[in-house]
């Protein structure tokens, strides 16, 4: 059983839609990442009716709950058993997530060690061979 989270604040994710830069769909030279329009005649900057709105500071998540998973813990990527030792004192703030390149054999030993250390693992069930009932 993994330790419970210290965070008791309700997690509210305000918005997930990424705001694209104005006219990024029209020109390849205009990247998708948001840039504030600065032109003297810019319709977006002047906030004309019927045009996309610029993002505001209120779009962000609560600082206490930012980067939290639904279980109330933050994610920490583990690549070997040694990385797991970092979470020994922080098992109520962070949970382990096994990296994509970790093999099935090492994955099983890391999950076993995490259970002994009382550290939550988000993807501990991945790449595990099912035992046959014999």
Per-residue pLDDT tens digits for 113-132: 999 999 999 999 988 877 66
Per-residue pLDDT tens digits for 38-52: 999 999 999 999 999
Per-residue pLDDT tens digits for 5-19: 887 888 888 877 889
Angle among Cα 89, 93, 97 to the nearest 5 degrees reads 95
Separation of alpha carbons 70 and 11, rounded Å: 8
**Greatest pairwise CA separation for the chain in angstroms:** 76
Looking at every residue in the chain, the average pLDDT score rounds to 90
- Residues 6 or more apart whose CB falls under 8 angstroms from that of 120 comprise 2, 3, 71, 73, 91, 95, 96, 114
């Amino acid at each position: 059983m993994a330790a419970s989270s210290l965070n008791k604040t309700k997690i509210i994710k305000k918005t997930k839609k990424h705001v694209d830069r104005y006219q990024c769909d029209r020109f390849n030279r205009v990247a998708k990442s948001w840039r504030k329009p600065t032109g003297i005649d810019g319709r977006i900057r002047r906030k004309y009716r019927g045009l996309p709105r610029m993002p505001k500071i209120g779009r962000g998540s609560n600082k206490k709950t930012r980067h939290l998973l639904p279980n109330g813990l933050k994610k920490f990527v583990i690549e070997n058993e040694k990385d797991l030792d970092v979470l020994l004192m922080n098992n109520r703030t962070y949970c382990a997530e096994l990296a994509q390149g970790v093999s099935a054999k090492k994955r099983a030993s890391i999950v076993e060690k995490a259970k002994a250390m009382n550290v939550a693992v988000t993807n501990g069930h991945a790449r595990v061979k099912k035992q046959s009932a014999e």
